[in-house]
């Protein structure tokens, strides 16, 4: 059973739900009407936070689960929690200014790479 990894997966989805709602709130606050995708810098940053997170989910989630399967449920969950923390730092920084998104991006990027590389390494070791 992969209880810890399942919990981190659900937390990542909850965070994604939160930032999706944030885009909707930002539309209302800034007056950017559907279907417009630009028009106010605050809205555009909220939208990019959501889209960037969505762009990373196909890298993060499979790597998270493969790491749990091939290495460790608790290890995957710990690194996955770091990924979520990185996304939160990214959200806070980018919400203030585009130039402040770097630290969060770095944290989540390192976590995702660790999950992917760990999964690949464990798989290769089993194949040889």
- Three state DSSP letters for 63-96: HHHHHHHHCCHHHHHHHHHHHHHHHHHHHHHHHH
Mean of pLDDT over the chain = 98
The pLDDT value recorded for residue 1 is: 95
CB atoms within 10 A of CB 71: 17
Distance CA 17, CA 6 (A): 16
Cβ proximity of 15 and 64 under 8 Å: no
pLDDT in tens, 46-55: 999 999 999 9
Whole-prediction pTM: 0.96
Cβ within 8 Å of residue 63, ≥6 positions away = 112, 115, 116, 119
pLDDT in tens, 33-86: 999 999 999 999 999 999 999 999 999 999 999 999 999 999 999 999 999 999
Distance CA 80, CA 29 (A): 32
Q: pLDDT category, 30, cuts 50, 70, 90? A: very high
Q: pLDDT category, 122, cuts 50, 70, 90? A: very high
């Amino acid at each position: 059973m992969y209880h810890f990894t399942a919990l981190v997966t659900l937390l990542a989805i909850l965070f994604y739900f939160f930032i999706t709602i944030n885009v909707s709130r930002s539309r209302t606050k800034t007056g950017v009407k559907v279907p417009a995708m630009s028009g106010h810098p605050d809205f555009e940053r909220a939208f990019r936070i959501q889209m960037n997170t969505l762009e990373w989910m196909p890298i993060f989630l499979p790597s998270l689960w493969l790491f749990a399967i091939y290495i460790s449920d608790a290890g995957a969950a710990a690194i996955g929690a770091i990924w979520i923390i990185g996304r939160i730092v990214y959200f806070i920084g980018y919400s203030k200014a585009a130039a402040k998104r770097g630290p969060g991006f770095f944290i989540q990027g390192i976590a995702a790479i660790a999950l992917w590389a760990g999964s690949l390494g464990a798989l290769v070791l089993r194949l040889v």
